[in-house]
Structure 1
């Protein structure tokens, strides 16, 4: 072999195309080149290899023995090149990296698991870190990339999508409701004990009063800052509790304590930082969460 420059892939591809097309003109059309350009590439390959690849017979070209021995490895290289291009294309479209999602502990426990499984199927390269927190500051302090909130974000650097509202109703175990009395009405429920949320007991109290219940702080003997703890107390039959219907429908131990109660609307927003929305992994997770949460917020069948 000559000691000239090593052949590059364009030169070898020119030879393979000429072999497969049977002529320089056919190979040029296949590769989108002019015939003189293709001819120069084949000549450069002959020079770098130090061998003659074609012999002219009349107006045609005939492969030399040296060229015929190159055909098989050149075809293997061609297939490898196509595989590399395919893999590169897939990688350029891949979605991978860490995505932190903050949501209330109740959402994280009851509504996120099937959504996370779907996200794993759609984008297996994404690593999800769920920050189960009831604090709305998590996103603005950059402790998370995406936040599921029940209040609209006020920060200018955030963007949000309003999801369909769900509804919260009053639930208890069948045994507790039996003790309160069936059918439970406003009068019976006004004597019942309810679980309270440490930071929002006044809000819950006012909402239930607005809907016709004569309640006071005395109706909330147990308070907690954890939605999961509060819901566990309801599941155990300790007290009645206000909860999103989407969660209660996934909790077989409870039933509606006041079937005539229309419920309290629960708005939901999905928020992220504006610059993070342009990151593909964040955008994919954000869009999938929006679609799946809209479905999950509806009552289970």
Structure 2
């Protein structure tokens, strides 16, 4: 297969239209269309269903796209390894983390890392879903559970503790619960999203410690962002379980029912085996581990 046509096919499959692919490739819509038609003729298969709203991959097109995507991802990884200096870390470093961890702790310490390694271009992607490192959706992930893929290297980063917090304004208005059973009569805020997997296991543990007959509390608010839960608690809307590292950043929060502890969550620094020798990843890993040792990232 012609590599140039394959590159154009990959761009079209990603963009979903000849026009958008042409903008990415700096080619005209007609030039892109001709190259795809030529590729289809050489393979003697249709790669796209063409319709008024855009393009949809055929079954054969899906097969070729998956293969091409893997090839181009591995080529990008090889290029990064070849261009990286052996002595000085440089190049793009794409890091993914959950929204709560990334916004509360990781982002504030990145300034120091960038000062230390100005030739490393950090690209931070905050997603509660797990990006596929093997497909180069990111170089490094900070995950709140051990990776399931055996080809990924993992390093334990920290243990996160979940506690119950409220604002002084909430306590003034509704009182402070004296026992776990008292929570049945309080306004509880929890993580809620029926469409995606929660960022950590048992994140809504507060709902399952009720003395009610069905063992379930009813939340006053469900929101699919731990950071939004923090803001809701700060505003006095209700009580919530929050990671200790987030609550420590907010002097306005009060820990309640200290005898109650939620799940302990182990976080991991994860990256693909192919990037084991990457200087960028090595220095970033060591930087975060040093912050943990200094107490900057305790959970």
Q: With structure 1 as the length reference, what TM-score do the two structures score?
A: 0.62
Please name the residue that 1:254 is paired with: 253
Query: Following the alignment from structure 2 to structure 1, what is the Cα–Cα distance between the partners of residues 86 and 132?
Result: 31
Shift of residue 188 of structure 1? 2.0
Query: Following the alignment from structure 1 to structure 2, what is the Cα–Cα distance between the partners of residues 279 and 181?
Result: 54
Query: Following the alignment from structure 2 to structure 1, what is the Cα–Cα distance between the partners of residues 107 and 203?
Result: 27
Please name the residue that 1:142 is paired with: 136
RMSD: 2.5
Instruction: Determine helix, strand or coil for the equivalent of 1:278.
Output: coil
Whether 1:191 aligns to 2:185 is: yes
Provide, for residues 137-194 of structure 1, a one-character-per-residue CA deviation record: whole Å limited to 9, x for no partner: 3434422111111111010221111123121101110121233323532232221122
Rate the CA distance shift 1:195–1:140 in 2: closer, same or farther, 3 A: farther
Query: Following the alignment from structure 1 to structure 2, what is the Cα–Cα distance between the partners of residues 145 and 181?
Result: 47
Whether 1:296 aligns to 2:296 is: yes
Please name the residue that 1:52 is paired with: none
Query: Following the alignment from structure 1 to structure 2, what is the Cα–Cα distance between the partners of residues 193 and 209?
Result: 11
Query: Following the alignment from structure 2 to structure 1, what is the Cα–Cα distance between the partners of residues 171 and 263?
Result: 20
Whether 1:234 aligns to 2:233 is: yes
Query: Following the alignment from structure 1 to structure 2, what is the Cα–Cα distance between the partners of residues 160 and 168?
Result: 23
Instruction: Determine helix, strand or coil for the equivalent of 2:260.
Output: coil
Please name the residue that 1:203 is paired with: 202
Provide, for residues 61-116 of structure 1, a one-character-per-residue CA deviation record: whole Å limited to 9, x for no partner: xxxxxxxxxxxxxxxxxxxxxxxxxxxxxx75221111011111111211013321
Please name the residue that 1:133 is paired with: 127
Q: Quick check: 2:207–2:216 contact (8 Å CA) kept in 1?
A: no
Gaps spanning 5+ residues in structure 2: where? Answer: 1-84
Whether 1:158 aligns to 2:152 is: yes
Q: Quick check: 2:207–2:218 contact (8 Å CA) kept in 1?
A: no
Rate the CA distance shift 1:127–1:246 in 2: closer, same or farther, 3 A: same
Query: Following the alignment from structure 2 to structure 1, what is the Cα–Cα distance between the partners of residues 151 and 111?
Result: 30
Query: Following the alignment from structure 1 to structure 2, what is the Cα–Cα distance between the partners of residues 202 and 161?
Result: 19
